[in-house]
Amino acid sequence: MSSREDILQNIRRNTRVRYERPDLTELEENALTYPDKVTQFCAIMKQMGGEAVVLTSEDDINEVIKSRYPNAKRVASNMKEVATGEKIQLITCATFHPDDVASPAELDGTDLAVVDGRIGVCENGAVWLQQDVEQRAVYFISEALVILLDRKNLVNNMHEAYKRIDTGEYGYGVFVSGPSKTADIEQALVMGAHGPRSVTVILL
């Protein structure tokens, strides 16, 4: 038996009183909702230190990415194309596939990663990333992150989001809300302490 199982068994043996799980129906029914999800999401993303860009049918997605990250030389992505309105656009700005490296350490030095967002949450700007690459370190080791998200997949709150999340083939997913940040050190807010310094969500 592993040490983890030992700990869990000890907890079970020493639990004297068990409580039923709370009924969250009332919380869900009274959760925050927004009449304009796109506007709300963009506003919250700005508050979180990130940026949300609404793509129009005339915009070239590669040019939009390059205009925001003109100095990015090493760009990772496993995405080949995205649907923008009635047309399909190829992702040509990437310079390599993150799974073409032998180990996660080789992703160090990645300037930008372009990834697929599955769900966007309007109440807090969080975007659900379902792991679709072997090297999930790419989500955290890149200096900047561009998340492509279909605006139809915006939900009001976390109650709605949790009903829709899927960990996929790799069994892993993560919510990302703006760039990495911490205020633990001398109560000074530092961006990019443990992950991307910049996050841009492009709403398709």
Domains and their CATH numbers in the chain: 34-203 (3.40.50.10420)
For the stretch 3-62, pLDDT in tens is: 888 898 888 888 888 888 877 777 777 788 999 999 999 999 999 999 999 998 889 999
Instruction: Please provide the average confidence, as pLDDT, over all residues in the chain.
Output: 90
Predicted TM-score (pTM) above 0.75: yes
* Chain position carrying tokens 């109440």: 123
Least reliable range by pLDDT among 48-57, 153-162, 170-179, 185-194: 185-194
3-state SS string for 65-86: HHHHCCCCCCEEECCCEEEECC
Least reliable range by pLDDT among 11-20, 66-75, 91-100: 11-20
Q: What tokens does 82 get?
A: 């995205």
